[in-house]
């Protein structure tokens, strides 16, 4: 990891830490030497950000560095963290691992992760003992993504509206971690597994958050409104917060990032908690941090 100080909790559990960066291949060699398996979880996840260059460096080149080192060091087994976002907007269809998106991706994150996913499959074809894990939307305490930004905005009454039709597969971070471990322990080499939670429209997720917190739920607006706004704000992207840039609005304008986790359930024993169990803890965590 680039900053070992950020991993003090792991250190306290007895985990041996190494300083490294996926964009610097040699910096990872010592940590990967002599191990039984490798989890390649690192990635660049930004939507609406002004500087998109790290997407190529981290998600594509960084993945190539890790997988090349796995080959060189003859690592016996590995799990690569992909994402349901490699399929971009599934337009309401619940797809499985056999689905392959061929259109234009709606964000740089989607594009670079899709390129890395295809690269991982090529390494597998060349003999690398790799399993691919595909999470959906991850929530839970300690989140630093744009979802947390939306949760904070909601708690502060600054999230006025949400689009209809937009749907994600929601899984608690602990379920996602468990899915990775199951993929390492039970996954078949060369296979992909959607370790995602249940599909739920974003408006319903925040209605659930409203029930938990007593805060007013955002108004539901036709997703076409968000799509139109994403075009109108484009000239002002450099001035806007990431969530409200053209890309930030486009990725929530009626899109569905959804996948079927049946294979992970049947082959790995993946069993994520129902969505109504996890948000209370997450919301209470954020409210405590905000002094609410």
Whether 227 contacts 166, CB under 8 Å: no
pLDDT at 1 > cutoff 70: no
Whether 117 contacts 59, CB under 8 Å: no
CATH classification code of 34-289: 3.40.50.720
Alpha-carbon distance of 173 to 183, in angstroms, equals: 15
Alpha-carbon distance of 238 to 48, in angstroms, equals: 10
* 198 bridge partner residues: 170
> Among 4-8, 63-67, 102-106, where is mean pLDDT lowest?
4-8
- 105 or 47, higher pLDDT: 105
How confident is residue 275, by pLDDT bands cut at 50, 70 and 90?
A: confident
pTM of the model: 0.92
pLDDT at 77 > cutoff 80: yes
pLDDT at 274 > cutoff 90: no
Alpha-carbon distance of 249 to 260, in angstroms, equals: 25
What digits encode the pLDDT tens for the residues 190-222?
999 999 999 999 999 999 999 999 999 999 999
What digits encode the pLDDT tens for the residues 120-174?
999 999 999 999 999 999 999 888 888 888 899 999 998 888 999 999 999 999 9
């Amino acid at each position: 990891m680039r900053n070992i100080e950020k991993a003090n909790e792991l250190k306290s559990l007895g985990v041996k830490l190494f300083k490294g960066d996926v964009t610097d291949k040699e910096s990872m060699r010592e940590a990967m030497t002599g191990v039984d398996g490798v989890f390649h979880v690192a990635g660049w996840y930004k939507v609406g950000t002004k500087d998109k260059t790290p997407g190529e460096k981290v998600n594509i080149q960084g993945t190539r560095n890790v997988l090349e080192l796995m080959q060189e060091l003859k690592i016996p087994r590995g799990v690569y963290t992909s994402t349901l976002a490699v399929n971009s907007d599934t337009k309401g269809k619940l797809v499985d691992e056999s689905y392959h998106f061929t259109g234009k991706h709606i964000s740089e994150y989607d594009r670079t992760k899709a390129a890395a996913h295809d690269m991982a499959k090529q390494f597998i074809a060349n003999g690398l003992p790799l399993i691919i894990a595909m999470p959906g939307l991850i929530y839970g305490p300690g989140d630093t993504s744009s979802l947390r930004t939306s949760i904070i905005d909601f708690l502060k009454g600054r999230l006025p509206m949400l689009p209809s039709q937009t749907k994600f597969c929601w899984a608690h971070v602990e379920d996602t971690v468990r899915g990775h471990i199951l993929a390492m322990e039970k996954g078949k080499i060369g296979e992909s597994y959607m370790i995602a939670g249940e599909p739920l429209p974003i408006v319903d997720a925040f209605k659930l958050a409203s029930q938990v917190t007593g805060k007013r739920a955002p108004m539901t607006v036709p997703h076409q409104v968000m799509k139109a706004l994403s075009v109108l704000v484009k000239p002002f992207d450099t001035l806007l917060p990431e969530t409200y840039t053209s890309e930030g609005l486009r990725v929530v304008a009626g899109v569905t990032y959804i996948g079927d986790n049946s294979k992970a359930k049947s082959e790995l024993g993946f069993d994520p908690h129902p969505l109504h169990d996890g948000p209370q803890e997450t919301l209470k965590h954020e409210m405590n941090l905000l002094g609410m």
